[in-house]
Amino acid sequence: MKQRRDVFPIAVLGCLLVWGFSGLSALALEQDLLNLQPGQAVAVDETFDGKSFTYEVVDVQTKEHCLVVRLRYPSPVVSELPQNNVIPVEYYLPKGIQANGPRRPAVICLHILDGSLELVRMLASVLASHGVPAVVFQLPYYGPRGDSDGPYRILADPQHFVSVLEQAFLEVKRAVDFLASRPEVNPQHIGVAGISLGAIIAASAAEREPRIYKAGLILAGGNLRQIVETAREAEPLRRFIADLDADQQASIWRILDTVDPLSQADLLKERAQQGRVLMINAAEDEVIPRACTEQLAAALGIADRVFWLNDLGHYTALAALPRILELTAEFFAADLPADVRVKETPSAEMTPVQLIAATLQRLTEFYLREPTEGACHIGQIRAHVNGDEYTFLFIRGAGESFRLEGRASDFGQVMLGQRDYPWMMARTGLVFVGQPDAGGKPQSPLSFVNNALLERARFAVLAVSGLSASPPALEALIRVKEEQQSDGRTIIVSPVDDTNQIAVRLKYARNQRFPNRLEVEGVGREIRVEIETWEIDVPAPVRLFDPPSDKPQKVVSRYDLYRMFGAVINFLAEKAP
Q: Give the pLDDT score at 72.
A: 97
Nearest 10 degrees: CA dihedral of 282, 287, 289, 294?
-60
CB 490 within 8 A of CB 507: yes
Amino acid in position 527:
I
CB 69 within 8 A of CB 96: no
Integer Rg of the chain from CA:
26
Task: Report pLDDT digits (tens) over 101-149.
Answer: 899 999 999 998 878 898 899 899 999 999 999 999 999 988 899 887 6
Straight-line distance from the first to the last Cα atom of the chain, in angstroms, rounded to the nearest whole number: 29
pTM of the entire predicted model? 0.74
Task: Report pLDDT digits (tens) over 276-313.
Answer: 999 999 998 988 999 999 999 999 999 999 999 887 78
Q: What are phi and psi of 183, to 5 degrees?
A: -70, -20
Task: Report pLDDT digits (tens) over 30-85.
Answer: 444 467 889 999 999 999 999 999 999 999 998 988 999 999 999 999 988 899 99
Q: Give the pLDDT score at 264.
A: 96
Q: Which residues, 6+ apart, have CB-to-CB distance to 68 below 8 Å?
A: 60, 61, 62, 90, 91, 92, 93
Task: Report pLDDT digits (tens) over 415-452.
Answer: 888 888 889 888 888 999 988 765 555 567 777 777 77
CB 63 within 8 A of CB 496: no
Angle between helix 321-333 and 118-129 (nearest 10)? 50
What average pLDDT is seen over the chain? 84
Distance, C-alpha 15 to centroid of its chain:
14
Separation CA 450–CA 454 (nearest Å): 6
In 3D space, the residue among 241, 89, 274 whose CA is nearest the CA of residue 155 turns out to be: 241
Q: What does the chain come to in residues?
A: 577
